[in-house]
Amino acid sequence: MSVAGSSRRFALAGAATLAVLWLVPFYYAVSTICKSTAQYLSGTPLSLPPSLSSLPGNIEAAWAQTQMGQGMLNSLGYGVLGAGGAVLAAASAAYALARIVFPARTTWFMVIFAGTVFPFQIYLIPLFQGYARFGLLNTRLGLLMAYMAICVPFPTLVLRNHMGQIPRDLDEAARMDGCSHFRIFRSIILPNSTGPLIALFLLQFTWIWNDLIFSMVLTTETAQRSVMNALMVFQGNYAGTTPNLVITASVLASLPTVAVFLLLRRYFMQGLSLSVHA
């Protein structure tokens, strides 16, 4: 046992070292956002900031120059409406697939699920060209619809599996009483699925919040672009940007999803396990 114990201590030391290494970029980010531009440029990147006094100024400048308020509002809209709409559409489809008997269910399911088989790259050109033709380019509606569609297939899969496991006695009794499918869906199946619904919503919300490529391709104007797009433009627009401001903007843009994670950790973990065990 002592041999195993020492090898375990050795391994633990290794894990701890790795953990410290893992924290270096965070340390760099946190120390950088506390430095003024002059402090950053004159010191070494890893030096400690002399005080926290530059932080408010950095936040203010990064917020204003990125037009982050607009970006966050847009992303909030895309995330809430996109993930919400997608999860609802998925739940409704999953209800049909799991609780109604009808021909060729698997085929219908495969049609919806086919949307996850392809890498995103295959959608970019058609969406861009199609949107240009139908006037959806650079509109919030266009980007929202794309997000919503992308977020439908996976929740459909998860919810279909989940709804298939809800005992059938419940809705069969309700059907005997003459309840419509909608009533059963609304008052029996949905309330029994809140856990996965929340988990899936969070998963898709985070994905939409973090997405860059669709926002880059489908919206490039300040009024419609997402927060990540705003960050990307700011980082690439070198005139007037300095590392401390770009990193402040990066941290700001990431805070909402980190906060959501910390608040709703349980659901997040559930969402993650869904993605493996589905």
Q: Is 179 an interacting residue with respect to other proteins (CB under 8 A)? A: no
Question: Rule CB under 8 A: is residue 130 a binding residue for other proteins?
Answer: yes
CB-nearer residue toward other proteins: 15 or 48: 15
Q: Decide if residue 115 touches other proteins (CB under 8 A).
A: yes
| CB of 89 vs other proteins, minimal distance in Å | 4
Residue 169 C-beta: closest distance to other proteins, Å? 13
- DSSP state at residue 190: T
| Chain-centroid distance, C-alpha 220 | 20
Is position 267 an interface residue for other proteins (rule: CB under 8 A)? no
CB of 52 to other proteins, least distance (A): 19
- Is 162 an interacting residue with respect to other proteins (CB under 8 A)? no
Tokens of 24: 């270096």
Cα separation, 245 vs 40, in Å, equals 10
**What is the C-alpha separation between 189 and 80, in angstroms, rounded?**
22
Residue 100 touching other proteins (CB under 8 A)? yes
1 forms part of the interface with other proteins (CB under 8 A) = no
212-241 residues in contact with other proteins (CB under 8 A) are: 212-213, 216-217, 220-224, 228, 231-233, 235-239
Interatomic CA distance for residues 150 and 173, integer angstroms:
36
Q: How far is the CB of 234 from other proteins (least distance, A)?
A: 9
Gap between the Cα atoms of 138 and 131, Å rounded? 9
DSSP state of 223: T
Q: How far is the CB of 187 from other proteins (least distance, A)?
A: 11
| 183-190: Cβ within 8 A, 24+ apart | 184/99, 185/91, 185/92, 185/95, 185/99, 189/91, 189/95, 189/99, 189/163, 190/91
CB of 266 to other proteins, least distance (A): 13
Which residue among 106, 167, 169, 177 contacts other proteins (CB under 8 A)? 106
Residue choice 61, 154, 162, 199 for contact with other proteins (CB under 8 A): 154
Q: How many residues at the interface with other proteins, by CB under 8 A?
A: 130
- Residue 276 interacts with other proteins (CB under 8 A)? yes
User: Binding string to other proteins for residues 11 to 50, with x set by CB under 8 A, is what?
Assistant: xx-xxx-xx--xxxxx-xx--x-----------xxx----
**Structure tokens that stand for 53 in this block:** 């006094």
Spell out a b/e string for 241-277, using b for 16 or more CB atoms within 10 Å of the CB, else e. bbbbbbbbbbbbbbebbeebeeebeebbebbeebeee
Of 64, 173, 263, 269, the one binding other proteins (CB under 8 A) is: 269
Judge contact between 263 and 205, C-beta under 8 A.
Answer: no
DSSP state of 188: I
Confirm or reject binding of residue 150 to other proteins (CB under 8 A). yes
Residue closer to other proteins (CB basis): 52 or 101:
101
